[in-house]
């Protein structure tokens, strides 16, 4: 089981190399880092720079962060050893485990009790999963746990066949799903609960545009993993860096927020 880290985690993926096949610049090891694109990839890279700096300081390695354009690319990268440490969702973790035997390293306590939220416009008349029949709907990436897998599961449990909806849109990311609903491109959608909360807090969406009409039961989601042959010293240093974050000091609070 992965160790647990309290607080909010940054959604990025770190890609590290083992000492046996390590890329170096001079004498410095390079940890290749990647993340599933749960929101806009460029935005993730920009906002993750303080975390990259922190991890470089704590691991003694240079960290190269990449955020590909889809979830499957991260699984492919770690399965083919182009990625050393990755931030995955629950579904992509299962895929990477089956294909490449990845090792879980660290996970937020929140991610052991995660939820998807279903959203719609306040005046849509949609108030339950059953009400989705005959309407258009937005998922995120097809390989997203909270943006597709779990929402589709609970829709089928409510006798709503996702393939039989009037229109099904795959937006590629949770933020794009929220905006598709807010701008009435679709009648409803499902997304990550934390992305919804952040977008509502920052005014990217407003209560006059969207409302939550259903929240799923809890499930396991995001987790940091290492490729199976990564040097345990490197993967241990990476996990320890997260576990040492403390919101009582300024640097830790910024990263956890």
136 lies in the same domain as 17: no
End-to-end CA distance of the chain: 25
pLDDT of residue 99: 96
104 lies in the same domain as 21: yes
Does residue 17 carry a pLDDT above 80? Answer: no
107 lies in the same domain as 231: yes
8 lies in the same domain as 124: no
- Rounded CA separation 252/242 (Å): 9
100 lies in the same domain as 7: yes
Does residue 26 carry a pLDDT above 80? Answer: no
pLDDT in tens, 50-73: 999 999 999 999 999 999 999 999
- Beta-sheet strands, E only, within 67-155: 85-88, 103-108, 116-120, 136-139
211 lies in the same domain as 230: no
pTM of the model: 0.86
210 lies in the same domain as 92: no
pLDDT in tens, 158-187: 999 999 999 999 999 999 999 999 999 999
180 lies in the same domain as 243: no
Domain that holds residue 149: 116-215
- Counting the structural domains of the chain, the total is 2
Q: What is the CATH number of the domain that holds 55?
A: 3.40.190.10
């Amino acid at each position: 089981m992965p160790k647990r880290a309290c607080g909010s985690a940054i959604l990025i993926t770190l890609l590290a190399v083992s000492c046996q096949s390590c890329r170096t610049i001079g004498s410095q090891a390079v940890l290749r880092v990647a993340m599933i694109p749960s929101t806009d990839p460029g935005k993730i890279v920009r906002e993750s720079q303080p975390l990259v700096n922190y991890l470089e300081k704590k691991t003694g390695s240079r960290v190269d962060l990449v955020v590909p354009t889809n979830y499957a690319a991260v699984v492919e990268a770690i399965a083919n050893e182009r990625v050393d440490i990755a931030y995955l969702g629950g579904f992509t973790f299962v895929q990477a485990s089956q294909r490449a035997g990845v090792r879980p390293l660290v996970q937020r306590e929140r991610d052991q009790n995660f939820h998807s939220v279903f959203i719609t416009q306040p005046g849509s008349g949609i108030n339950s999963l059953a009400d989705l029949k005959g309407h258009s709907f937005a998922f995120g990436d097809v390989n997203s746990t909270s943006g597709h897998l779990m929402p589709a599961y609970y829709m089928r449990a409510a006798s709503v066949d996702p393939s039989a909806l009037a229109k099904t849109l795959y937006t590629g990311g949770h933020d794009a799903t929220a905006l598709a609903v807010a701008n009435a491109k679709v009648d409803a959608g499902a997304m990550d609960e934390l992305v919804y909360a952040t977008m509502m807090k920052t005014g990217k969406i407003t209560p006059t545009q969207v409302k939550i009409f259903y929240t799923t039961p809890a499930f396991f989601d995001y987790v940091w993993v290492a490729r199976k042959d990564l040097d345990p010293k490197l993967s241990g240093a990476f996990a320890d860096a997260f576990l040492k974050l403390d919101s009582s000091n300024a640097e830790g609070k910024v990263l956890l927020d």
